[in-house]
Amino acid sequence: MSEQPSSEPRNTVNQDQQPQSVLSGLAEIIRFAIIAILIVVPVRMFIAQPFIVSGASMDDTFHTGEYLIIDQVSYHFEQPDRGDIVVFRYPRDPSKFFIKRVIGLPGDEVNIENSVVTITNQEHPEGFVLEEPYVQTMSPAPAMSESLGDREFFVMGDNRDQSSDSRSWGILQEDRIVGRALVRLFPPTMVDFMPGDVSIDESLLEPQTILR
């Protein structure tokens, strides 16, 4: 006796499972995206943030198109130091970010005359000339002096003749500082940790000669 073909469709189980498999895959993608957001967003907001350099104000330390990672944590525990490269919100337009070098610290008096920067403070009441091997150019300009209060900094670009900095728009308040340059990731030939970092041992500085 021949077997009658079953009227029940084949592969019923597989057909029922296919939509469930798609939904499961979508759920996994959504879950992965949520986890990534929970990790990436706090990191970018509070720990490290990428920036691309644009402009010539920091030549030859940085050039247009270089990709930097900014450390946003360290300055929650310590103040910026002289010589640090900092990224901050431009005081006249907080939607813009600038990158400059810290020249004057809270309590300093910064004097600039004939392209020479002199720092006077409690530790150096006679003042000292700031050695700046990183400066590309700095043409003589009218003498200026700026006294810094608590949480105030004086910043300048390394390419002084092409830099909009504290000489033109004034003192930088600490709460405007986003962080310091931690890593240069691009271009590959310029990968560097703490790019542009200059250690200044002020205990070894000679006092400025005062002409009478």
Domain ranges for the chain, please list them.
13-48, 53-204
pLDDT of residue 202: 53
Contact assessment for residue 172 and residue 155, using Cβ atoms and an 8 Å cutoff: yes
57 catalytic, yes or no?
yes
Across 139-155, average pLDDT: 93
Give bridge partners of residue 179 from the DSSP assignment. 87
Contact assessment for residue 175 and residue 89, using Cβ atoms and an 8 Å cutoff: no
- The CATH number of 53-204 is 2.10.109.10
96 catalytic, yes or no?
no
Q: Mind listing the pLDDT tens digit for each residue in 46-58?
A: 455 888 999 999 9
- Out of 21, 95, 100, 115, pick the active-site residue: 100
Q: Is the pTM of this model over 0.75?
A: no
**Which contiguous run of DSSP H or E holds residue 18?**
helix 12-42
- Out of 24, 54, 57, 147, pick the active-site residue: 57
Q: Mind listing the pLDDT tens digit for each residue in 152-195?
A: 999 999 999 999 999 999 999 999 999 999 889 888 888 888 88
Higher pLDDT, 207 or 196: 196
Coil vs helix vs strand at 88: strand
